[in-house]
Amino acid sequence: MNRKFNTLYPLAFILAVGPIDTGCGSSDEIVSPPERWVLTMSDEFDGAEDTRPNPEIWTYDVGGDGWGNGQLEYNTARIENVSLDGQGHLRIVAREESYMGNDYTSGRIKTQGLFDQKYGRFEARIQLPEGQGLWPAFWMLGANVDEVPWPGCGEIDVMEYQGQRPKRVFGSLHGPGYSGGESISGDFELDGDETFADDFHVFAVNWDPGRIVFSVDGEVYHSVNSSSVPGDWVFDHEFFVILNLAVGGTLGGPVGPDTVFPAEVLVDYVRVFERAQ
Distance CA 259, CA 90 (A): 21
What pLDDT digit, counting tens, does each position of 196-221 carry? Answer: 999 999 999 999 999 999 999 999 99
SS3 of residue 149 by DSSP: coil
* Contact of 239 with 140, CB cutoff 8 Å: yes
CA distances, 125 to each of 108, 137, 181 (Å): 17, 12, 27
What pLDDT digit, counting tens, does each position of 251-263 carry? Answer: 999 999 999 999 9
Distance CA 262, CA 134 (A): 11
Torsion of CA 76, 79, 85, 91, to 10 degrees: 0
Q: 242: closest CA among 275, 219, 273, 265?
A: 265
pLDDT at 120 over 80: yes
Q: Which of 80, 160, 189, 238 is catalytic?
A: 160
Residue 155 among the catalytic residues: yes
Residue type, 241: V
pLDDT at 26 over 70: no
Burial of 32 from C-beta contacts in 10 A (0-12 / 13-18 / 19+): exposed
CA distances, 47 to each of 43, 58, 83, 118, 267 (Å): 11, 15, 10, 29, 13
What pLDDT digit, counting tens, does each position of 136-164 carry? Answer: 999 999 999 999 999 999 999 999 999 99
pLDDT at 133 over 90: yes
Q: Which of 123, 130, 155, 264 is catalytic?
A: 155
Question: Could you give the domains of the chain?
Answer: 43-271 (2.60.120.200)
* Contact of 196 with 167, CB cutoff 8 Å: yes
Residue 49 among the catalytic residues: no
H-type alpha helices, the chain: 249-252
